[in-house]
């Protein structure tokens, strides 16, 4: 299974980010990511044997994330990947520390860890033709207090996501395996709008 760890926004932040995507799409073209797919990737874990999921969930359970705030205030464009994204000027130290702890503990279990630069962002458009002419929308504040484990499934129309577990609150026992009845994040797969 292709897995990644992510910050998953609540409905208000998700709606604002989606509004940014729709506005950017009018100028930049491309494909608007569905509101339900918007997230900030903490770490891409690549292919993970499903039998190792209990190890990963135990690691998450003992690695809480202290609450913090991100302020998104600019849009960027990666011309090589044709992606328009939202970014924050600063990233809290505790977010970086939690990410580093998760990856080092995962590596310590014998897992292969993909070397990657942490560039915190939320992808808004794929296959965009150009950068937005106004890269400074009104700032958006996102209060974060947890992270999720997501299964990414490749399809011809792009990735589909399924949240497998969420860890909210700064206590080590804040881990919850998601279910359709319990999770505020629907346990359906999310795709992109084409």
The catalytic site residues sit at 39, 121
- The residue with tokens 């310590």 is 108
What lies within 8 Å, CB to CB, of 122 at 6+ separation is 9, 17, 38, 39, 40, 72, 85, 86, 87
What lies within 8 Å, CB to CB, of 133 at 6+ separation is 27
Instruction: From 144, 129, 138, select the one nearest 39 (Cα to Cα).
Output: 144
* 45 and 59 Cβ atoms separated by less than 8 Å: no
Dihedral-angle region of residue 46 (phi above 0 means left; psi in -120 to 50 means alpha; beta otherwise): left
- R_g of the chain computed on alpha carbons: 16
| Distance, CA of 124 to CA of 42 (rounded, Å) | 16
SS3 label, residue 9: coil
Question: Which tokens hold the place of 103?
Answer: 């990856």
């Amino acid at each position: 299974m292709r897995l990644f760890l992510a910050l998953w926004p609540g409905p208000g932040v998700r709606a604002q980010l989606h509004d940014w995507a729709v506005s950017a799409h009018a100028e930049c073209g491309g494909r608007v990511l569905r509101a339900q797919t918007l997230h900030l990737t903490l770490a891409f874990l690549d292919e993970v044997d499903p039998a190792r999921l209990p190890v990963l969930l135990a690691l998450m359970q003992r690695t809480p994330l202290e609450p913090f705030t991100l302020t998104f205030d600019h849009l960027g464009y990666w011309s090589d990947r044709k992606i328009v994204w939202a970014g924050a000027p600063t990233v809290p130290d505790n977010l970086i520390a939690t990410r580093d702890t998760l990856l080092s503990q995962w590596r310590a279990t014998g897992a292969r860890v993909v070397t990657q630069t942490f560039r915190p962002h939320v992808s808004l458009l794929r296959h965009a033709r150009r950068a937005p002419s106004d890269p400074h929308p009104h700032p958006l504040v996102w209060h974060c207090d947890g992270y999720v484990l997501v299964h990414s499934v490749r399809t011809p129309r792009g990735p589909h996501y399924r949240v497998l577990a969420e860890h909210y609150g700064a206590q080590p026992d804040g881990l919850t395996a998601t279910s359709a009845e319990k999770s505020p994040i629907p346990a359906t797969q999310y795709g992109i709008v084409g």
